[in-house]
Structure 1
Amino acid sequence: MTIVLATLNARYAHASLGLRYLLANMGTLKDQTQLREFVIGTRTTDIVEKLLACNPRIIGFGVYIWNVEETTRVVALLKRLAPQVRIVLGGPEVSYESAEQPIVQLADYLVTGWGDVTFPALCRQIIDGPQPLMKVHAGVQPPLADIALPYDLYSDEDIAHRTLYVEASRGCPFKCEFCLSALDKTAWPFALDGFLAELERLHARGARLFKFVDRTFNLNIKSSLKIMQFFLDKLAAAPDDPVYAHFEVVPDHLPDALKAGIMQFPPGALQFEIGIQSFNPDVQALVSRKQDNDKAAENIRWLIANSNAHLHVDLIAGLPGEDIASFARGFDRLVALKPHEIQFGILKRLRGTPIIRHTEAFGLIFDPAPPYTILATDRIGFADMQRLVRFARFWDMVANSGRFANSLPTILGESPFANFMLLSDWIYARTDATHRIALERLAVLVAQWLAERGVATDTAQALVASDYAGKVNLPRRTVTAKGDSALPQRQARHLAA
């Protein structure tokens, strides 16, 4: 009698925290339960072969927006080959609007929401009887003190090679309508002493990279300070054995006590993910996002100037009520703050999120297939939305990659959004691609674009070469993607002209 907990991770480096929570809370069934993780892109038949080799009676799948299509194929094949195996689904992708989903129709049972208590109870019914009458089981939310923590289930291989996800709290008090956390009533903290003891054990086993999944790490400053002190103590005890911590923080809440703690971290030890999403107050009000934009900007500016934290700041294009001009103003404002990375995201309609209430009023059209990306709004047509999608991809390749650090200021000039959009459109027109562009080719394209924008050819070549000294061989004369000679150099002029 074997119970298998399975999921398809986005990549090997991601270790499933959700499955480990389920395994930790299986109680008397824990010894009969195995964990099997796969990576998206793996052949369906290979996954099914490995699952059936476990001789399972029950397989529980963690279903997410990035793996639902491939997991659907796995479940369909399992039901053909081994119809006696009971398939139980759980996870955010199947917890809402589940009735019409093919994967739910294929499966035997579905646990919506929290599964820590409900999944083990369902397994006991399937094994011992009486057999469950209902297909859908609403997850029971227990007190956090009743949930066994899963961190000892990270293997030595996980610790050596994978990102370790941890959480000091669950839930979120904010109601941003594009986020599933909008459905939470509040945030619930785990007992801090017990959580820190778990971190201590992980560190003693060799863990050095911790990614917190808390939505609001800096909501409770006293708890934030204690967690940061844990890492500062490790750094002080062994400066040559650094630890790294990633936190998601509320951008407009950075009191002096927290600033004092942040300032103590050395370079390379601390990363903050900061969700700005939009600088437009009207758009923020539409999606129920409460944010003091001036305070958020001030805090980002302070972090850049006074801390060694690496800042990863998020913006979302396609929100209801926002046109390209509004988004461009927000983007330029954020660029001026000089965060290390700007994550340019495109709105997605996650199942269950309240953003759908704006569909008719703002002409929201979403792709019906995962990840349900916005295709058009009443303010941004499909063609322009596609341009924004390409902008986001090229921004990752050129700006967020850090590969064009010397060239980027010249690329952006005085109008960062407008100029980078020109570059994005130009590259796409010559390559008809946003992926599989070789690094050397991209460098040649950037140098050529700068030259065509009025930067002296030698200067453009030198800029890109300084980013790629010893890595790529730029031709003495810039060439087009098709190999034709470049147009004669134009009169030198400002990039923003």
Structure 2
Amino acid sequence: MKLLLTTLHAKYSHASLALPCLATCCRDLSGIETVIREWTVNEPREQILRQIIAERADIIGFSCYIWNIEPTLQLISDIKKIAADTIIILGGPEASFNVFELMHDNSAVDFVVKGEGEKVFRKLLETVLARHIAPPESTKEIENLFSREDGDIVSGPLSTATVELDSIPSPFKAGLVELSKPLIYYETSRGCPFSCAFCLSSVEGTVRSFSPQRIESDLLFLMDRNIAQIKLVDRTFNYDARRADQIWEFILEHNQGSHFHFEIAADLLTGDNLELLRRVPPDTFRFEIGVQSTSPGTLQSVARKADLVRICDNVKRLRNETEVELHLDLVAGLPGEDYNGLLASLQVVADLNPHVIQIEPLKVLKGSPMREIARREGYRYSDSPPYTILGTPWLSFDDICRIVTIGRLLDLFHNHGGFKHALHFMQQRMSLSEFLDTISRRSAGENLSGRNTRRIYELFAHLADPLLSEAERHQLHDALFFDYCCSEMPLQGKLPAFIGDRQECAWPSRRELPDGLELPEGSRIKIFTFSFLKDYRGDKWQEGPAAVTFVYASVAGDGLRIIVA
């Protein structure tokens, strides 16, 4: 029999971890040929359907999430109409709740695996195989499996039993993970020590870890192959501070250039953790820290345990003492937090000076305790994935739209860098949250996507200018142009509109390069000079005029390097 394991990713860069884990747990079953194929939700459904049918699989297993459940169900319906005997199995978070309703509404689904899948999936395959060589064996005795029997939807015993993690063979060493992708997922543990109502991890039970030997073996395998980005999917990587130290120490000893992403709880960091993290080289570790809200009452209402003072103190230390890249997350729409409360949370986070600030409206996920809170408090949210809120007792739909706009403005002007001096200039006059709130109201009719770099800088000026006097606008444009020159080379005839046709602009030849510059060998060089009102090259701005030279060195396959001389 042929088994096809598949999923639809949100982006091409993503590579599945769930499917290789299933495959490696079943690869010793005699009579099963397993194939893993992955697509994205952005590919034409008809094209994916043709490719799935071309596999001529007897069994197809789909991994289901909020971003792919709807197109997945559409595909399944079409598959059954073409190949009615194909066995369809669903698993993953979005298939694990309201299963009877899911199967009732989608008759093409034969089986649903609830929760952790490796053990259940293997038992199901064993049962399907047995039907071909012996009298039919019922699947209704398999724990956490939903199936159809005599026209009814039935469920096996529901169990909280979990898989012994080291019993799952390494999918990496088995050659089942596509390592050519720019982003590789890896897990060292499952479960979460917290019970936040808005997160499905709250129903996963206690935390379990792979053994240190298994973790080091997998990490060494990945680092030896120079994987560009390794994203650990552990819900709270540093739930055990000593364990975190051991893994970080191992990475620092053996890493050959990989970049690692960890989701951590900042208040669980110890002094020993922080001391070790001071040794992390630049562009090596990224920490995603879910602050969610800085209102103690709001956090308490969703059973979020957090020491806000310790979070702030540790984030400050990470920012000031280490090279770790910091991503801080907020969730808009938690109980008790209105629009002004969200702005207050944003400002607390902004004052910590993280590299990235993310704000997302709350998603009322199936199976999460937040569903009951939403029912009790009178939340309005979409019935379709990803179940985003449409209104709460504290936020109107207009408030939510404005918060989404602020999140987009953060992405444009803060998270990707490039506006350091312009933002600093504005924050000398108002807080970041006040600035974003104000320009979000002005940008309601603006197209905030699909702009090239120059247009994004022009947008900043367009939104910020009305907040300033004429003299201040001139100063802002100067700082903004310095930022622009640090992002891409200004072109003759295509200067940003806010800088105008300035006589100070010059494009010298290569022979006028300043002395002492270390340039990449074999690079193409272009030069731009400009006389600014101030010298922005240091931490403290010196009054100008300051003539600055920008050197743009590009090497094939190595991108653009910008040197400010």
TM-score by length of 1: 0.90
> Shift of the alpha carbon at 1:167?
1.1
The residue aligned with 2:357 is 342
Return closer, same or farther for 1:476/1:350 CA change in 2, 3 Å cut-off: closer
- CA deviations 1:130-158 (Å, max 9, x no partner) are 254541455762222322232225568x3
CA RMSD of aligned residues (A): 2.0
Distance 2:443 2:396 in 1: 21
- CA deviations 1:267-286 (Å, max 9, x no partner) are 11111111110110101110
Quick check: 1:145 aligned with 2:166? yes
Distance 2:300 2:267 in 1: 16
Distance 1:298 1:448 in 2: 36
In structure 2, runs of 5+ residues without a counterpart are 141-146, 148-154, 501-565
- CA deviations 1:426-471 (Å, max 9, x no partner) are 1223x2x343344333321211222211153322322222222225
Range moving further from structure 2, 41-50 or 270-279 = 41-50
Return closer, same or farther for 1:448/1:384 CA change in 2, 3 Å cut-off: same
Decide which structure has the larger Cα Rg and report it.
Answer: 2
The residue aligned with 1:417 is 433
> Shift of the alpha carbon at 1:47?
1.0
Distance 1:434 1:175 in 2: 36
Of 449, 453, 463, the match for 1:439: 453
Amino acid corresponding to residue 47 of structure 2 in structure 1: D
Amino acid corresponding to residue 483 of structure 2 in structure 1: D
Distance 1:61 1:459 in 2: 56
Kept in 2: contact 1:324–1:380 (CA 8 A): yes
Distance 2:305 2:129 in 1: 48
- CA deviations 1:342-393 (Å, max 9, x no partner) are 1111100111000112224432111111111111101111111111112112
1:284-295 to 2 correspondences below 5 Å: 284-295=299-310
Quick check: 1:428 aligned with 2:444? yes
The residue aligned with 2:190 is 170
Count of matched residue positions in the alignment of Structure 1 and Structure 2: 470
Amino acid corresponding to residue 463 of structure 2 in structure 1: W
Distance 1:279 1:132 in 2: 52
Distance 1:263 1:104 in 2: 53
Amino acid corresponding to residue 120 of structure 2 in structure 1: T
For residue 75 of structure 1, give the secondary structure of its aligned residue in structure 2: helix
The residue aligned with 1:491 is none
Of 230, 236, 249, the match for 1:210: 230
The residue aligned with 1:302 is 317
The residue aligned with 1:452 is 466
Kept in 2: contact 1:175–1:288 (CA 8 A): yes
For residue 465 of structure 2, give the secondary structure of its aligned residue in structure 1: helix
For residue 252 of structure 1, give the secondary structure of its aligned residue in structure 2: helix
Of 200, 203, 220, the match for 1:200: 220
For residue 311 of structure 1, give the secondary structure of its aligned residue in structure 2: strand
> Shift of the alpha carbon at 1:257?
1.1
Range moving further from structure 2, 347-356 or 121-130 = 121-130
Q: Percent of pairs identical after alignment?
A: 30
Kept in 2: contact 1:214–1:248 (CA 8 A): yes
1:152-167 to 2 correspondences below 5 Å: 152-153=173-174, 158-167=178-187
> Shift of the alpha carbon at 1:231?
1.4
Quick check: 1:371 aligned with 2:386? yes
The residue aligned with 1:6 is 6
The residue aligned with 1:484 is none
The residue aligned with 2:528 is none
Kept in 1: contact 2:124–2:139 (CA 8 A): no
For residue 345 of structure 1, give the secondary structure of its aligned residue in structure 2: strand
Distance 1:222 1:383 in 2: 46
The residue aligned with 2:519 is none
The residue aligned with 2:259 is 244
Distance 1:29 1:55 in 2: 19
Return closer, same or farther for 1:437/1:362 CA change in 2, 3 Å cut-off: farther
The residue aligned with 2:78 is 77
Quick check: 1:18 aligned with 2:22? no
Distance 1:434 1:189 in 2: 42
Quick check: 1:396 aligned with 2:417? no
Return closer, same or farther for 1:206/1:153 CA change in 2, 3 Å cut-off: farther
Kept in 2: contact 1:320–1:364 (CA 8 A): no
More relative contact order, 1 or 2 (CA 8 Å, 6+ apart) = 1
Distance 1:154 1:293 in 2: 43
The residue aligned with 1:333 is 348
Return closer, same or farther for 1:190/1:421 CA change in 2, 3 Å cut-off: same
Distance 2:232 2:448 in 1: 31
- CA deviations 1:75-116 (Å, max 9, x no partner) are 111011111101000000010123333775431111010110
The residue aligned with 1:281 is 296
Kept in 1: contact 2:182–2:227 (CA 8 A): no
Of 95, 113, 116, the match for 2:115: 113
Quick check: 1:407 aligned with 2:409? no
Distance 1:447 1:24 in 2: 54
- CA deviations 1:312-354 (Å, max 9, x no partner) are 0111111111111211111111111101111111100111000
Range moving further from structure 2, 139-148 or 110-119 = 139-148
Distance 1:387 1:3 in 2: 46
Amino acid corresponding to residue 204 of structure 2 in structure 1: D
In structure 1, runs of 5+ residues without a counterpart are 236-240, 479-497
Distance 2:461 2:3 in 1: 56
TM-score by length of 2: 0.79
Kept in 2: contact 1:12–1:162 (CA 8 A): no
The residue aligned with 2:205 is 185
Distance 2:137 2:77 in 1: 22
Distance 2:464 2:175 in 1: 48
- CA deviations 1:456-492 (Å, max 9, x no partner) are 33223222222222257212578xxxxxxxxxxxxxx
Amino acid corresponding to residue 19 of structure 2 in structure 1: L
The residue aligned with 2:281 is 266
Amino acid corresponding to residue 130 of structure 2 in structure 1: D
Distance 1:420 1:200 in 2: 43
* Higher helix proportion: 1
Distance 1:477 1:124 in 2: 70
